[in-house]
Amino acid sequence: MLSLTKKSDAQPVAAPLWHTNFRNFERLPDTKVVRTTFFVNTAAITVAAGMLLWLASREMTNHGIQEQISEAQRLIAENQKQNADALRLSKNFADEEKKLAEAEAFVKTPIASLEFVNRIGQTMPKAIVIDYLEVRTTDPKKAGVVLRGRVAGSPDQASGIANAYVDQLKADPSLTATFDPITLQRIDRNPNGAYMSFEVVFTVKGGK
């Protein structure tokens, strides 16, 4: 008779393990050719070396910057001294140039100073006293003479004498040849009332 048993049923059943597996895989040694700890250590060393190189590069950069700053400060200090010396010499030169310009302008004055003073003395009335005389020649556009003095008498009398004196100066040919206009700039009463103070401005004609 043909067997009715299935093919799978005909295979023998594997015998069960004869003992339990008590191995602790976490504590077993690493039997790989290249251990995992090698890669971990290599990565850590690489990162540490990179950090050291980066810190060294920064320190060198900072050192270079500090040297540049020190050099720049040294140059600034030297230039400040040279600049101060240049400014001092420039000021001295400007002062001397101003003196030379004044002297040159004084020499080129259209009327001699002694001649002018002599003419003022000859035309000055007895009631007038000259206190101040200034020759201005630095600026050709404002060249002239400022004359200040006092007039004795009451305010009305003193004002009349001062105006008459200015009219006399305006009519003097030796003065009008050089000065135009000749103006009574101001006349003030003295606090004690004994006299009047006045100021006459002689302006040099244009082109002189």
Which pLDDT band, with edges at 50, 70 and 90, does 81 fall under? confident
Give the mean pLDDT of the chain: 77
d(C-alpha 137, C-alpha 144), whole Å: 7
Query: What is the average per-residue pLDDT within 105-130?
Result: 77
Instruction: Count helices and strands (H / E) in the chain.
Output: 5, 4
Which pLDDT belongs to residue 19?
A: 62
What is the pLDDT averaged over residues 188-207? 79
- Stretch 156-165: mean pLDDT, rounded? 86
Share of the chain above pLDDT 90, in %: 0
Average pLDDT over residues 163-191: 84
pLDDT digits (tens, 9 = 90+) for 85-97: 888 888 888 888 8
pLDDT value for 35: 60
State the average pLDDT over residues 107-135.
79
List the one residue out of 148, 160, 131 whose CA is nearest residue 201. 148
Residue 117 has a pLDDT of: 83
By the 8 A CB rule, do 148 and 162 touch?
no
Q: What is the DSSP string of 73-142?
A: HHHHHHHHHHHHHHHHHHHHHHHHHHHHHHHHHHHT-SS-HHHHHHHHHHH--TTEEEEEEEEE-SSGGG
Q: Please, which residues have CB within 8 angstroms of residue 45's CB and are 6 or more apart in sequence?
A: none
- Inter-helix orientation angle 155-170/113-123, to 10°: 130
Bridge partner residues of 200 (DSSP): 147, 184
Could you give the angle at the alpha carbon of 125 between the alpha carbons of 122 and 128, nearest 5°?
A: 115
Chain segment 48-74, per-residue pLDDT in tens: 888 888 888 888 888 888 888 888 888
In this model, does residue 26 exceed pLDDT 60? yes
Pick from 155, 143, 149, 163: which is nearest to 120 by CA?
Answer: 149
Q: 158 pLDDT band (50/70/90 cuts)? A: confident
Tell me what the mean pLDDT of segment 28-37 comes to: 60
pTM: predicted TM-score of the whole model, two decimal places = 0.44
Has residue 1 got a pLDDT over 50?
no
